[in-house]
């Protein structure tokens, strides 16, 4: 133990730099974990939808019509921000929201949770993550 204290005294800048880097890495990891909390992978999404989860596409109608995940409902983000009227009966059911890349779907999931939905998550990576797994899209 005395060797450690000697080292720290003689190399305070190195020890301080190491501590600063450790704090930055820890902060980054915590932020990433918080961002991914409540996000499901494309394969988890398939399992959840097969067991009865509601899938919400929060993109604009034109983007939805151009291609979406099968069995998804188009509920634009603005409708969710306005209180998600028409979705109240799904408050106890698993609900997964997605957008093109993930952030809007995650924001919609957070809004639904604030509105009292019990089991809400988002698709990790959004539709881009879905396409990255070579999973199919349907068109309206």
Predicted pLDDT of residue 21 = 93
Predicted pLDDT of residue 41 = 92
Instruction: Single out the catalytic residue among 69, 75, 97, 99.
Output: 99
Predicted pLDDT of residue 33 = 58
Q: Does one domain contain both 72 and 111? A: yes
Per the structure, the count of domains in the chain is 2
Segment holding 110, helix H or strand E:
helix 103-114
111 is catalytic: no
Q: Does one domain contain both 31 and 60? A: no
pLDDT tens for each residue of 105-125: 998 998 998 888 889 999 999
Least reliable range by pLDDT among 9-13, 44-48, 98-102: 9-13
CATH code for the domain in which residue 128 is found? 3.40.250.10
CB-facing half-sphere around the CA of 100: CA atoms within 13 A: 6
pLDDT at 20 over 80: yes
pLDDT at 94 over 90: yes
CB-facing half-sphere around the CA of 60: CA atoms within 13 A: 2
pLDDT at 95 over 90: yes
What span, in angstroms and rounded, lies between the C-alpha atoms of 51 and 81?
27
Section 28-38 average pLDDT? 64
Q: Does one domain contain both 120 and 56? A: yes
Cα distances (angstroms) measured from residue 98 to each of 15, 79, 137: 44, 14, 13
pLDDT at 11 over 90: no
> Does 140 fall in a domain?
no
Predicted pLDDT of residue 98 = 95
Q: Does one domain contain both 98 and 58? A: yes
Q: Does one domain contain both 72 and 118? A: yes
């Amino acid at each position: 133990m005395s060797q450690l204290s000697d080292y720290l005294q003689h190399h305070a800048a190195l020890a301080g730099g190491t501590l600063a880097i450790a704090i930055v890495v820890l902060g980054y990891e915590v932020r990433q974990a918080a961002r991914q909390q409540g996000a499901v992978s494309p394969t988890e999404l398939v399992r959840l939808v097969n067991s009865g989860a509601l899938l919400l596409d929060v993109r604009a109608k034109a983007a939805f019509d151009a291609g979406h995940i099968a069995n998804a409902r188009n509920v634009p983000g603005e409708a969710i921000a306005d209180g998600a009227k028409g979705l109240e009966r799904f408050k106890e059911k698993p609900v997964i929201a997605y957008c093109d890349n993930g952030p809007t779907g995650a924001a919609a999931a957070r809004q639904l949770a604030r509105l009292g939905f019990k089991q809400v998550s988002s698709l990790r990576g959004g539709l881009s993550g879905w396409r990255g797994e070579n999973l199919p899209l349907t068109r309206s």
